[in-house]
Amino acid sequence: MGLPPFRALHQGPCLAVTAKTLRSIDDLAIAGFVAPSDALETVALRYSVALTPTIAALIDRADPDDPIARQFLPEARELETADAELADPIGDDAHSPVAGVVHRYNDRVLLKLVSVCPVYCRFCFRRESLGNSGALDPRTLARALEYVAAHEEIEEVILTGGDPLAASPRRLRAVAERLATVAHVKRLRVHTRVPTAAPELVTKERLEALRAAKKNLVVALHVNHVRELSPVARWAIARLKDVGAKLLSQTVLLSRVNDDAATLDALLDVLVGQGVEPYYLHHPDLAKGTAHFRLSLARGQEIYEALARRRRAKPLPRYVLDIPGGFGKIPVEAPHLAPIGEGIWRARDRFGVEHRYQECLSYGMPDGATTILAKE
């Protein structure tokens, strides 16, 4: 299956926006997406910026609350942080035995192959570490793969980053061929935004490289809104399915992007129609400068309950919260999570240990400014 004509990469409410990835505030301003300001320049210095042609073409500039723009265009509120927000909100560093590896769960590891993405989500939980360097150097990567080979309890290697499909086919093949020699690894999983954000990277060479691992291949697609599933994105997803990958979806519940049951239901219907199994609905993490994306857990539960009613007898993702500090995911439901005060919750991890979770929300003010409240 060949790549659609280049023009097909730019179908959406705003046609032929750009033929290149926009990587600076100046680039975004010239394309008409933002008004340049000192605040936005400061945001770009702190957190990486990139907008691919595919995503740019989906943005409806006539809609001041466009859900695609909200996910990917930088804004000054990213400079607002609260004490409850963290540089490493899910505790990757606490579970990193060697550089590039996160071993939080006994039977699987994350392998942070690259630290770059084709497009940068403004709510990313790894935003502090992405975009500054390319990939693990050969020596560090070799040590990471040696760690996997030495730990027989590891059954699954999850390629993450950054976006692993931003890596070259050569690098992907090198990793896959090394994993092919590790008998106790049964599954190779890839976490990616590429099919929706940069589908031209879903190439025959990359797909063949992943298959070189000779493992069960699982691809978890990060998709938050049905409009991200453009014709070319669906083409890329079909390519993954054609090589035998099991396809899962991961969605982040985001304020003013997908925070209603009807929007999520429409997204899940299209995903299921594409052969993608709904996997996780993530509550937003406590990453710095992302309070304006978060909604309360109580509101999230209401939305999820409404979604479950809509999707009786249909596939439904699990609504989960990553406990800050690296204690893992839990379902956003009793007995795993219970309120103990206004904005304060008791979170019980998989070992039965209880942790205090403090919500940190952003509330819009009449003049468009915001205030961040970390409830005590």
pLDDT digits (tens, 9 = 90+) for 66-89: 999 999 999 999 999 988 999 999
Residue 243, burial from CB neighbour count under 10 angstroms (0-12, 13-18, 19+): middle
Task: Summarize pLDDT for 40-58 with one digit per residue, the tens.
Answer: 999 999 999 999 999 999 9
Amino acid at 232: V
| 5: pLDDT strictly greater than 50 | no
> Contact 350/106 with Cβ under 8 angstroms?
no
CA 214 – CA 260 distance, rounded (Å): 40
**pLDDT of res. 37:** 97
Helix axes 261-273 and 297-310, enclosed angle (nearest 10): 50
Asked if the model's pLDDT at residue 2 lies above 70, the reply is: no
Q: In three state form, how does the secondary structure of 2-33 look?
A: CCCCHHHHHCCCCCCCCCCCECCHHHHHHCCC
CA dist 296 and 336 (Å) reads 16
More reliable by pLDDT, 376 or 94 = 94
Please report, as a single letter, which amino acid is at residue 119. V
Report how far residue 219's alpha carbon sits from residue 248's, in angstroms, rounded to the nearest whole number.
6
For the stretch 170-180, pLDDT in tens is 999 999 999 99
Contacts 24+ apart (CB under 8 A), 326-335: 326/90, 326/91, 326/92, 326/93, 326/94, 326/95, 326/104, 327/91, 327/353, 327/355, 328/104, 328/105, 329/280, 332/283, 332/297, 332/300, 332/301, 332/304, 333/301
The Cβ-side half-sphere exposure at 238, using a 13 Å CA radius, reads: 13
Of 234-238, 341-345, 363-367, the poorest mean pLDDT is in 363-367
Other Cβ atoms closer than 10 A to 355? 14
What mean pLDDT do residues 186-190 have? Answer: 98
Which amino acid belongs to residue 362? S
Mean pLDDT of the chain: 92
Encoded tokens for 19: 């033929």
pLDDT confidence of residue 18: 64
Q: How would residue 60 be classed by pLDDT, with cut points 50, 70 and 90?
A: very high
Query: What integer pLDDT is reported at residue 13 of this predicted model?
Result: 38
Peptide bond into 335 cis (omega under 30): yes
Q: Is the peptide bond before 300 cis (omega within 30 degrees of 0)?
A: no
Structurally, at CATH architecture level, domain 6-374 sits in Alpha-Beta Barrel (3.20)
Cα angle 24, 128, 140 (rounded to 5 degrees) comes to: 105
In the numeric block, which tokens belong to residue 165? 């499909």
Q: Render pLDDT for 99-135 as a digit per residue (tens, 0 to 9).
A: 999 999 999 999 999 999 999 999 999 999 888 777 8
DSSP H helices, 168-314, are 169-180, 194-197, 204-211, 231-242, 261-273, 297-310
Which H or E run contains 103? strand 101-105
Give the other-Cβ count within 10 Å of 321's Cβ. 22
Catalytic residue annotation: 104-105, 108, 117, 121, 124, 126, 285, 322, 329
3-state percent helix, strand, coil for the chain, nearest multiple of 5: 35, 20, 45
269-300 pLDDT, tens per residue? 999 999 999 999 999 999 999 999 999 999 99
DSSP per-residue string spanning 249-297: EEEE--TTTT-SHHHHHHHHHHHHHTTPEEEEEEPPP-BTT-GGG---H
Q: Tell me the Ramachandran region of residue 375: left when phi exceeds 0, alpha when psi lies from -120 to 50, beta otherwise.
A: beta
- In angstroms, rounded to a whole number, what is the distance separating the alpha carbons of residues 242 and 258? 29
- Binned at pLDDT 50, 70 and 90, residue 15 comes out as very low
